[in-house]
Amino acid sequence: MHISLFPRTDLFARLGLLLAALGATSLLAQTEPTNAVPVASTNIAPTEPTNTVPAIPMLQVKADQVTAKVSPMLYGLMTEEINYSYEGGLYGELVRNRTFKANPTNAVFWDTINDTKISLDTNMPLNAALNVSLKMDTSEATKNHTVGIVNNGYWGIPVLPNTTYHLSFYAKGENFSGPLEVGLEHIGSTNVIKITDGSTISLDTNTMQVLGNTAPPKEWGAGAAYMADRWQLAGAEIPKISKDWQKYEVTLTTGNIKPTKNNQLFISAYKGGSSFWHRHSSIWFQQVSLFPPTFNNRANGNRPDLMQLLADMNPKFLRLPGGNYLEGDYINERFDWKKTIGDISQRPGHRSPWNYWSTDGFGLMEYLNWCEDLRMEPLLAVFAGYALKHDYIKPGPDLEPYVQDALEEIEYVTGDARATKWGAQRAKDGHPEPFPLHYVEVGNEDWFDRSGSYDGRFAQFFNAIKAKYPDLQVIATTPVKGVTPDFVDEHYYRSQEQMEAQSHMYDTRKREGPKIFVGEWATRVGRPTPNMAGALGDAAWMCCMERNSDLVLLESYAPLFVNVSDLSRGGSMQWPSDLIGYDALTSYGSPSYYAQKMFSTHHGDTLLATDSQNLPTHAWQPPARTRNGVPQGERPGPQEVPSLFYDATRDSQSGTIYLKVVNRQGTAQPVYVQISGISAVEAQGTATVLKADKLDDTNSIQEPVKIVPVTEAVDGLGTDFTRTFPAYSITILELKAK
Ligand code: AHR
């Protein structure tokens, strides 16, 4: 078991004097460098023994004392529809409000070309799920004009060079049979067109390229230039539109253009001077969808850059589908999984508690495919009869349909395709093989349920799940009475100082009883994504969880994603401090993302006992506890909090020791490291370091890789060495132990 010792100067001083007297020079590092002993590259080396008290902290790794196994499932992901995480984020769909249900009275996020009129029409439904359509009325179109509709996506539509986009929609016409012109166009006034030879036009280098050579008006002459506010980047024609609902699909392929996001999708018709165009023509649309290439080329799939950022973290599980998103504000706004599967045109969609519409195009099967693509397991949270605005279902017969729904959901994920109803449905939906599933969580944050119904609700779910699926591990969202859950989910959203202050919390936690799933946590410093202070708090906390991963078997940071396009109120972010940021075109990992990735990809399978002396500390005044802004109880006294955090794991196959050290101070910190219980450690090893000059240094769309880890070979390691850890840094040393 880990022993945590905060400054024990007396003990260490006495030990130093004793060892000095014995001439044990290799055990205690001194402050003056010398060439006498091989040292690590940034070392301060031990020198001659003296009688002075050693000034630098000591970390001891007891390589012969394995205290526990590192949970192989420790590092996972948590996600939900928040901050435009799926629609406007991970989900590949580029059209916003594709089903026209985001607002009951207006076709929000849709615009018109010229004299076109649009309205929502509930009298022309596509089906019972998509029971409203967009009516495009062209009766006021003027001759030689284009009419049509446009959509600007989620703060832009990203368009890349030499790329094929898949456009589909349902449409029907009245007094209109086509053709429709569809395509992607660039908007903005950046397109300076120069007449280069008097007969054709082309764009300035580095701006957009015109598709084909368009003849300019002769009278312009050579060398003329003008600004255009629209450029077609890709287009296609749909020759005929039926008078009944029909699905239309085309591909749109771009040329050698510059990647941009200032683009829109258009669907238009041209009213030529000579062509017949009925005065009362109308066209109705539903489910207008535009997909770019997706990760693993999945239909209805995910955005590749975000998937790659996640894949690089090597996550072991995905807690889905929330969070608040599981519960909804009201019971009829919960994540109702049966309404999120099958053909996307049969999914009605629902309002999310984060105040925007979800088409549910990203439904249960899409979550499961996401897991499969990243080789992680779903950790399935089932709706447990409680919604955020305190609506709840009484345990007993009233709750039974919800319990059955959860059992059927588990069957959908894991059931045999030939022997079970919901397994067969999964096969019909495209996935005959069952998905792996070991963890089911009942509800979310049920400590908010002040009615006290969770004990009863949890027991009812727990008993039913265990009866049918005895091998499943069932997670409670708060401690319960009556039955003993396999896990309890704990959530920690904290400041940097709070995370550091609780960084030894689990060292002394009792090992009996349920295991712990830290299903949501984050150091909330930095907006929209955490800065280096956040990463340092996270790393201190991850040392704690990893060091105690015999108890904390699962952890997932939250929230995972934020669309950073519009940070104003009511914009693209509902919750600041999110791991990964993006706009329509590009994405980046925050310093916290890199800290998380460092931890999840650098650890052994066994935990080693560690010890420390003389660790630096700092004074911290905890804030008063408040409720609704009003201070509660007595103000807590000041605390002495460590400024250095650490843990050590070892790979039992290769022998590699992973020593993690977090220095939260603004100055570099020399540390004397001793590896005991082992014959030798190679002088050469590896150091992976994430550091910053300032606590508020961060990454952003503009500077996506300002703070990233650097891995380098280091020399001078051994069973004891001194290494200086940079200011504001997270270091993982890989020591090759024999
Ligand atoms: O992660 C954001 C929210 O925080 C989650 O939806 C909820 O579970 C928690 O309160």
Q: How far is Cα of residue 71 from the mean position of the Cα atoms in its chain?
A: 22
Asked if pLDDT for residue 36 goes beyond 50, the answer is: no
Tokens 């000034």 correspond to 55
CA 705–ligand 1 middle distance (angstroms)? 28
- E strand or H helix that includes residue 523: strand 515-523
Q: What is the pLDDT of residues 67-81, one digit of tens each?
A: 999 999 999 999 999
- pLDDT tens for each residue of 539-561: 999 999 999 999 999 999 999 99
Measure 500 CA to ligand 1 centroid, in angstroms.
Answer: 21
What is the number of the ligand 1 atom nearest to the C-alpha of 324? 6
Q: What is the pLDDT of residue 144?
A: 73
- Return the pLDDT at 626: 81
Q: What is the pLDDT of residues 162-218, one digit of tens each?
A: 999 999 999 999 998 889 999 999 887 445 454 444 444 444 434 444 434 444 455
What's the rounded Cα separation, in Å, for the pair 686 and 598? Answer: 13
Bridge partners (DSSP) of residue 147 are 269
**Beta carbons within 8 Å of 404's beta carbon, 6+ residues apart:** none
CA distance 525 to 576: 9
* Mean pLDDT (the chain, rounded): 88
Rounded distance from Cα 596 to ligand 1 centre (Å): 19
Beta strand spans in 539-632 (E)? 552-557, 561-563, 580-582, 587-589, 606-613, 617-620, 625-627, 630-632
pLDDT at residue 35 is higher than 60: no
- C-alpha–C-alpha distance, residues 607 and 550, integer Å: 9
Under DSSP, is residue 146 helix (H, G, I), strand (E, B) or coil?
strand
Residue list, ligand 1 pocket, CB within 6 Å: 80, 82, 322-324, 444-445, 520, 558-559, 575
- What DSSP string describes 37-98? S---TT-----S--SSPP-S-EEEEEEEEEEEEPPTT-EEEE--S-TTSIIIIIB----TTT
Name which of 461, 590, 611 is nearest 525 in CA terms.
Answer: 590
Q: CA 548, CA 2: separation in Å to the nearest integer?
A: 9
Overall average pLDDT of the 496-514 stretch? 97
What is the C-alpha to C-alpha distance for residues 290 and 250, in angstroms, rounded to an integer? Answer: 10
CA–centroid distance, residue 324 to ligand 1 (Å): 6
The distance from CA 413 to its chain's CA centroid, rounded to whole angstroms, is 22
pLDDT at 520: 98
Question: CA-CA distance, 338 to 327, in Å (whole number)?
Answer: 15
- Give the distance (Å) from ligand 1 centre to CA of residue 631: 24
**C-alpha closest to that of 326 among 446, 464, 205:** 446
Helical (H) or strand (E) element with 646: strand 644-650
What pLDDT score was predicted for residue 229? 58
**Tens digit of each residue's pLDDT (9 = 90 or more) over 619-640:** 999 988 888 778 888 888 999 9
Smallest CA separation from ligand 1 atom 8, residue: 323
Name the residue among 445, 662, 677, 441 with its Cα closest to residue 547.
662
Dump pLDDT digits (tens) for 91-126. 999 999 999 999 999 999 999 998 899 999 999 999
Q: What is the pLDDT of residue 508?
A: 96
Q: Which atom of ligand 1 is nearest to the CA of 575?
A: 2
Nearest to 693, CA basis, from 725, 732, 720, 666:
666
State CA 279 to chain mean position distance: 50
**Which atom of ligand 1 lies at the shortest distance from residue 80's CA?**
6
Alpha-carbon torsion angle 547, 504, 475, 417, nearest 10 = -30
Q: Atom 3 in ligand 1: which residue has the minimum CA distance? A: 323
Query: What φ, ψ does residue 146 adopt, rounded to 5°?
Result: -95, 140
Cβ–Cβ contacts within 10 Å for residue 443, how many? Answer: 24
- Strand ranges inside 196-262, DSSP E: 201-203, 225-238, 246-253
Residue 279, token pair as written in the block: 């005065």
Which atom of ligand 1 lies nearest, measured to the CA of 558?
1
**How many Å lie between the centroid of ligand 1 and the Cα of residue 564?**
18
pLDDT at site 719: 97
**pLDDT at residue 146, rounded to an integer:** 85
How many angstroms is it from 322 CA to the middle of ligand 1?
8
**Would you state the pLDDT for residue 275?**
54
Q: Count of CB atoms within 10 A of residue 668's CB?
A: 14
Determine the residue of 491, 492, 573 to mutate for testing ligand 1's pocket, defined as the one with the most ligand atoms within 8 A of the Cβ atom. 491
Tell the residue nearest (CA) to atom 2 of ligand 1: 559
Tell me whether residue 183 is exposed, middle or buried, using C-beta atoms within 10 angstroms of its C-beta: 0 to 12, 13 to 18, 19 or more.
buried
- Round to whole Å and give the CA distance between 29 and 50: 11
CA distance 669 to 659: 16
Q: What does the alpha-carbon distance between residue 17 and residue 23 come to, in Å, rounded to a whole number? A: 10
For 119, which DSSP code? Answer: E
How far apart CA 385 and CA 326 sit, in angstroms, is 10
CA angle, 135 then 140 then 145, to 5° = 100
Spacing of C-alpha 672 from chain mean position:
37
Pocket test for ligand 1, best of 329, 445, 560, 561 (most atoms within 8 A of CB): 445
Task: Return the higher-pLDDT residue of 34 and 147.
Answer: 147
Q: What angle do CA 410, 327, 330 make, to 5 degrees?
A: 130
Catalogue the E-assigned strands of 652-707: 656-663, 669-676, 685-691
Give the atom of ligand 1 at the shortest distance from the alpha carbon of 78.
1
Q: Whose Cα sits closest to atom 7 in ligand 1?
A: 323
- Give the range among 205-209, 292-296, 378-382, 657-661 with minimum mean pLDDT: 205-209
pLDDT band at 142 (very low <50, low <70, confident <90, very high): confident
Ligand 1 midpoint to CA 681 (Å): 44
HEC sequence for 171-204 = EEEECCCCCEEEEEEEEEEEEEEEECCCCCEEEC
pLDDT top residue among 680 and 229: 680
The pairing of beta strand 317-320 with beta strand 75-78: parallel
> In this predicted structure, which of 134-148, 530-544, 676-690 has the lowest mean pLDDT?
134-148
DSSP 8-state secondary structure symbol assigned to residue 412? H
Do 672 and 727 meet the contact criterion of CB atoms below 8 Å apart?
no
Distances (CA, A) of 340 to 9, 86, 154, 423: 61, 14, 21, 16
Query: In this predicted structure, what is the pLDDT of residue 277?
Result: 60
408 CA → ligand 1 middle, Å:
25
